[in-house]
Structures are given as structure tokens and as C-alpha cells.
Amino acid sequence: MPDSSDSDHRYLQPGDFVNSDDPAVVAFTRETAGAATRDVPRVLRLFYRIRDEILYDPYLPLGERSSYTAVDCLKNARGWCVPKAALLAACARGMGIPARCGYADVKNHLATRKLLDAIGTDIFYWHSYCDLYLNGRWVKATPAFNKSLCDRFHLKPLDFDGINDSLFHEFDQSGNRHMEYLHYRGTYADVPFTEIVATFRDKYKGLEARMRDGLDGDFQAEAGSG
């Protein structure tokens, strides 16, 4: 079930997917935060590094737990929105900043024709962002889409300032509507792997055969090609 409380010790604890205590995540957090001592500058360094150095890849096998964990996302330097948000949450928790995983269903997502054909819809369920507790309030950050990928889709990459919510690409660079949030699923202390996979198996009929093996191809190379 989604979380509801504003202040909860779970948002500072390691999870099965939000691996804030993993040595690789700890080292990455320390290296990225550097000498910064205030929460917002540290978070911003992490946000932009995760956004751009961890390549967005929705071709991963969506039935495998390793496709959802912060640590595997970090070690492979690629992941889709769920593990990239989990990685940002894990890094924040490692610095003592409460963080949780948020989800929503969206339409008009960044996608290749191959991916759309595989899932049979332009609705993407359980799109993930990271909810961070900064300066006494929760603020949303979405590190999913790296700048080089956005350039191929002719989109302005999502920025984050630590104050305002950074959620989705509402318009492309030409001013055309690109994404729309359809349904918020709430926030969770850890990635709700079982619920997500159950939804995918129900909604993405054409993807069932790929849940274990993923999709062949290079999403980054194919992006923007129609």
C-alpha cells in the first residue's frame, strides 16, 4: 500500500531495492556529494549525475528483480525510471535525507516504436520519481531521462532546483504536448516490485514473453527514430 505519513523512519532506512547501505552506493554518494555540506547542493549533484550518467533503458527484463534495484542500476550504469529513482532515494538516505519512491501512470512517454509495439499501448504504468524531504517539505525529482536521450527526442531535459517539483516533460521543444500524468499511485518506502510486475503482466500483454529476457536492441541508439 502507498505510504501516507510525512515523517517516517522508513524513509531513512535501507530497502530491498533502495539499497542505501550497499558499499557501491555509499561510495558513489560520497564521491558525488564531495565537499558540499548542505542538503540541496548535495542532492543536486546526485540528481544530475544520476540523470545523465546512468542511461535510461526500458529494454531491461521487467520481470527480474535486478532491473529494479538501485545498486544494479548503478553498477550497470543504465536503468529505467524505477531503479533510477530508487538510486536517487538510496543516495539521499545515505546522507540522512528522507526519501521515498513515487509512482504515477503517464501517457505520451519517451518511447521507441519497438517499445510501443511490444507493450501495445502509449500508457506507461508505474512511472517513477523520487520524493525528497528538503527544507521541511517533500519535493519531487525525476532523474529518469539523460540529456543525450532527450536531445534525440527533441526534448528539454528535466532540471531540478531542490525547491520546485520536477516531474515530467509536458511539452517538447516545439511546444507540442508530450506527456500527461493520468493517475498518481502514491509514494512508497521501497519499490513495490510485486505490484508493479503484476500490473505489467496484466496491462502489457505483448510484453509477457520479454519479462525475463527484455527487448533486443539499443534504446539510446534507436531513440528519436520513430
**Quick one: how far is CA 73 from the chain centroid?**
10
pLDDT at 145 exceeding the cut of 80:
yes
CB within 8 Å of 175: residues ≥ 6 apart: none
pLDDT at 170 exceeding the cut of 70:
no
Is 218 inside a domain boundary?
Answer: no
Is 165 inside a domain boundary?
Answer: yes
Average pLDDT for the chain: 89
Q: Tens of pLDDT along 65-86?
A: 999 999 999 999 999 999 999 9
Local confidence band at 134 (pLDDT 50, 70, 90 cut-offs)? very high
Number of domains in the chain: 1
Whichever domain contains 202, its CATH number is 3.10.620
Is 217 inside a domain boundary?
Answer: no
Is 3 inside a domain boundary?
Answer: no
Burial degree of 115 (CB within 10 A; 0-12, 13-18, 19+): buried
pTM for this entry:
0.92
DSSP 73-132: HHHHTEE-HHHHHHHHHHHHHHTT--EEEEEEEEES-S--HHHHHHHTSSEEEEEEEEEE
Domain of 203 in residue numbering reads as 9-211
pLDDT at 212 exceeding the cut of 60:
yes
